[in-house]
Amino acid sequence: MLNLLFYLFLALVVLAPLPLGANREWSWFLLAGGLGALAGLWGLWSVLDRRRVSLSLNPLLMLLFLAVCAWAVVQAWPGAPASLHHPLWNLSGEVIEGPEVGFVSLAPDDTWSATLRLLAYGFSFFLAFQLCRDPRRAKALFMAIVSVCVITSIYGLVVFWGQYDTILFFWPLEHRLLVRGTFVNANHFATWVGMGVLCLCALQVNATVTTRRNPAYQLPSTADEQLEELIAKTWKFLAILAVLTVAIILSRSRAGFSSTLIAGIVFWLCVRFRAEGAQQKTRRLMLVMLLVGGAGFLITNEVLLSQIDSTPSDLNYRLNSYALTADGVEDSPWFGFGYGSFERSFKLYRDESVEALLDKAHNTYLENLFELGWPAALALFACVGWLALICLRGLRQRGRDWVYPATGLAATTLVAIHALVDFSLQIPATAVTYTAIMGAACAQSRSSRGA
């Protein structure tokens, strides 16, 4: 039963990026429904076999997450106390005759949708945490993520070089000079592929650095022979890394490339910290990885550098929208404007400095503060930070399989940095992939005995 649930969960994680990153109402609704159904099946099964249930998560962590979800429900609930209602509802009641109604949220329908997605991400983490306590399943999850990233990247490169006009033969492609796979936005694609790069590195490090051999059966070899052996054993990994690196660079995502690079450095520091007795092997592996990444950058650097040149004009536009969003946070610091309501609520603050109609703040932290208010937003941030601390503890304490919590730390670094300038975590496929990685990473932060 556990294997059946795991493979069904794996199918949802793998299929999520295909329908435009699951960023359409029908696709994310199916994804959320599937995750909810699997969580329900796991709950029924756990009643029959409680020995397979992990209770190692701190209850306070779960309470924090549920408190955020509960506050979002209150924001969209018509029965919320009138003292919590946004003042605009009172003004609308004075203008429009009819039954008096009010909400904390300015867009309660959008708040219900955003809350459902947030619960789905929680289900994704919880299922991965419970099902990936067996390191074989954690490895299978990482392999599945890498596989779908490679397939989607190759498809994106074919569309890019072939100059095709659609994504998946039906979605019009407006900017053909970007690699975006099956995603509408190239920045979100870059972040998602970056997580695939981290999973790929974890699998290779687990196979190369952490593998121990009996020294009695090893023959001495020269440095050249050792390097040849390393390349012979890692050529598949290096080829996949090259494909993913080129796809990220050709996405023209400055933040996606930079955050992936920083996350890779964090992962490398984790490996250096834990790979005792394998420092020489680690250095050679990282050297080969840098050479492959550098080659990919040299081949495609003109694309990324041309995008970097356009930063000043884009930066002014972003800073203006950030300042206006911060004004909204100051006006409603405790209750917010409603989770998921940014597109409609921001119209109250938009002026001539921001010409376009924004549906996202392009800064997840500011947007969460704007929508949820300070208490609930800080609780949500604390949940993510808590998971990173669990991974840090696992990196320090695990005797084996420490590459999984190391990947969790690096993946959190990746999405945390990218969230400063974009909203990749608000794309269902990216969020589900991240929470699945974190579920496996946190599960492997403790001993897997008895899993």
Q: Tell me: the pLDDT tens digits for 88-145?
A: 887 655 444 444 678 999 999 999 999 999 999 999 999 999 999 999 999 999 999 9
* CA–CA separation, 27 and 410 (whole Å): 28
Is the four-CA dihedral 416, 247, 184, 304 of positive or negative sign? positive
Residues 6+ apart with CB under 8 A from 270: 395, 402, 406, 409, 410
Is the four-CA dihedral 176, 177, 183, 187 of positive or negative sign? negative
Helices 135-162 and 428-443 cross at an angle (nearest 10°) of 150
- Rg of the chain (C-alpha set): 23
pLDDT tens digit at each of 451 positions of the chain: 889 999 999 999 999 998 899 999 999 999 999 999 999 999 988 888 766 677 788 999 999 999 999 999 999 999 888 889 988 887 655 444 444 678 999 999 999 999 999 999 999 999 999 999 999 999 999 999 999 999 999 999 999 888 887 887 777 776 667 899 999 899 999 999 999 999 999 999 888 776 555 444 344 455 566 666 667 777 888 889 989 999 998 998 888 999 999 999 999 889 888 876 555 566 666 666 666 666 655 555 555 555 555 555 567 778 899 999 999 999 999 999 999 999 999 999 988 888 777 889 999 999 999 999 999 999 999 999 999 999 999 999 988 899 999 999 999 999 999 999 999 999 999 999 999 999 999 999 987 554 4
Report which secondary-structure segment, H or E, holds 171.
strand 171-172
**pTM for the complete prediction?**
0.92
| Terminal alpha carbon distance of the chain | 13
